[in-house]
């Protein structure tokens, strides 16, 4: 059964009739350990490099599919998001020596596990053709190590399943507008995963903050005030924490807009690469 990030407990026998309160109660189990937030600069570089490796595989496969080469891998954004979620959680619980070959196996193993959860075939031979030398047996062993470190909690609770709930609180009537808000909030959430400062916030808080920012962009002042007030009043959220998370997302979006303007001015063909994600994450951490 394919895992759905927007409905993580669906078809899970222990949660056949789960409620939104169960999502809020369980979300902390799917976050990096708190001790991972106080990392040295070298640890930050190591983690960013691992994320860059995952994104590099995604971008390479996109390139392959674009030019219609014989093999392909249907990686969607949710697979990458899930893989990075596994990576952050694993690296917060398991010390990893700073060796590139080991880092590569951890990153690809997280991507492999995420692909399996989404019922997408990820061929190691295809990855090797793209210049990443891996041994299938080593990847399999690493998958088992990752599964053990995460206590086999692979049905990750991310910000995505909370979006519908927070949208319902605002009681918007326009379905098209609701879809536009959800799409924009989802885009913000995808980008927010690359910001190390946001790791300390619960998925529900990130979802509410992303939706608030999306509503700030797309709604009238009155509609935005209503949605923000409904989120702030939610019994599952802390108002001060929500405000701090919102400010971080606001800064993140502004920085991305500024970088986009610079890149557009520099080159018509400028696109985001795994290295640009890495550089931005390091820059934000220093700030």
Assess whether 165 and 134 both reside in one domain.
Answer: no
Assess whether 181 and 238 both reside in one domain.
Answer: yes
Establish if 275 belongs to a structural domain.
no
Q: What is the CATH number of the domain that holds 215?
A: 1.10.472.10
Residue 251 burial by CB count (10 A; 0-12/13-18/19+): exposed, middle or buried? middle
Residue 78 burial by CB count (10 A; 0-12/13-18/19+): exposed, middle or buried? buried
Establish if 283 belongs to a structural domain.
no
pLDDT score at 142: 92
Assess whether 180 and 210 both reside in one domain.
Answer: yes
Establish if 204 belongs to a structural domain.
yes
Assess whether 105 and 129 both reside in one domain.
Answer: yes
pLDDT score at 1: 59
Assess whether 41 and 65 both reside in one domain.
Answer: yes
Dihedral sign, Cα of residue 42, residue 44, residue 49, residue 50: positive
pLDDT score at 280: 55
Residues 190 and 10: their CA atoms lie apart, in Å, by 22
Residues 162 and 24: their CA atoms lie apart, in Å, by 9
Assess whether 113 and 130 both reside in one domain.
Answer: yes
Establish if 271 belongs to a structural domain.
no
pLDDT score at 100: 73
Spatial contact of 284 and 255, defined as CB atoms under 8 Å apart: yes
User: What is the 3 state secondary structure string of 228-250?
Assistant: HHHHHCCCCCCHHHHHHHHHHHH
Assess whether 199 and 109 both reside in one domain.
Answer: no
Establish if 11 belongs to a structural domain.
no
Establish if 199 belongs to a structural domain.
yes
Establish if 2 belongs to a structural domain.
no
Burial string for 104-118 (b: 16+ CB within 10 Å, else e) reads bbbbbbbbbbbbbbb
Assess whether 143 and 232 both reside in one domain.
Answer: no
Q: Give the pLDDT of the chain (287 residues) as one tens digit per residue.
A: 578 888 887 765 455 456 788 889 999 988 988 766 555 555 667 777 778 878 777 655 444 443 333 334 446 788 999 999 999 999 888 877 667 778 888 888 999 999 999 888 776 665 654 555 667 788 889 999 999 999 999 999 999 999 999 998 888 888 999 999 999 999 999 999 888 889 889 999 999 999 999 999 999 999 999 999 999 999 999 999 999 999 999 999 998 888 877 766 665 454 555 545 545 554 554 44
Residues 232 and 166: their CA atoms lie apart, in Å, by 10
Spatial contact of 245 and 205, defined as CB atoms under 8 Å apart: yes
Assess whether 64 and 143 both reside in one domain.
Answer: yes
Query: Which domain range does residue 188 map to?
Result: 159-261
CA 16 to chain centre: 25
| Alpha carbon separation from 32 to 23, 92, 179, 187 (Å, rounded) | 17, 6, 30, 22
Assess whether 183 and 133 both reside in one domain.
Answer: no
What pTM did the predictor assign? 0.80
Spatial contact of 1 and 154, defined as CB atoms under 8 Å apart: no
Q: Where are the alpha helices (DSSP H) in the chain?
A: 20-26, 41-66, 77-93, 100-117, 124-129, 136-149, 160-170, 175-192, 203-218, 221-232, 239-266, 274-286
pLDDT score at 62: 46
Residues 209 and 245: their CA atoms lie apart, in Å, by 6
Assess whether 171 and 205 both reside in one domain.
Answer: yes
Assess whether 116 and 192 both reside in one domain.
Answer: no
């Amino acid at each position: 059964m394919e895992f759905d990030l927007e409905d993580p407990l669906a078809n899970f026998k222990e949660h056949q009739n789960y409620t939104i309160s169960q999502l809020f109660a369980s979300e902390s189990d799917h976050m990096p350990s708190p001790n991972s937030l106080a990392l040295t600069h070298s640890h930050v570089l190591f983690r960013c490099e691992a994320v860059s490796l995952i994104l590099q595989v995604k971008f390479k496969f996109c390139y392959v599919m674009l030019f219609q080469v014989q093999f392909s891998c249907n990686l969607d954004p949710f697979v990458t998001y899930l893989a990075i979620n596994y990576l952050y959680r694993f690296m917060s619980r398991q010390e990893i020596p700073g060796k590139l070959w080991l880092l590569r196996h951890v990153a690809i193993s997280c991507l492999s596990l995420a692909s399996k959860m989404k019922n997408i075939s990820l061929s190691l031979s295809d990855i090797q053709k793209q210049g990443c030398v891996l041994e299938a047996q080593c990847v399999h062993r690493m998958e088992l190590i990752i599964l053990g470190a995460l206590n086999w909690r692979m049905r990750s609770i991310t910000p995505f399943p909370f979006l519908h709930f927070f949208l319902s609180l605002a009681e918007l009537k326009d379905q098209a507008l609701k879809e536009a808000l959800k799409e924009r909030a989802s885009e913000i959430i995808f980008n927010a995963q690359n910001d190390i400062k946001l790791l300390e916030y619960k998925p529900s808080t990130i979802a509410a903050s992303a939706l608030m920012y999306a509503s700030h962009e797309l709604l009238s002042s009155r509609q935005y005030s209503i949605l923000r007030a409904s989120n702030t009043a939610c019994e599952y959220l802390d108002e001060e924490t929500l405000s701090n998370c919102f400010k971080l997302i606001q800064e993140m979006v502004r920085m991305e807009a500024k970088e986009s303007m610079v890149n557009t001015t520099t080159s018509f063909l400028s696109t985001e690469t795994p290295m640009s994600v890495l550089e931005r994450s390091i820059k934000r951490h220093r700030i």
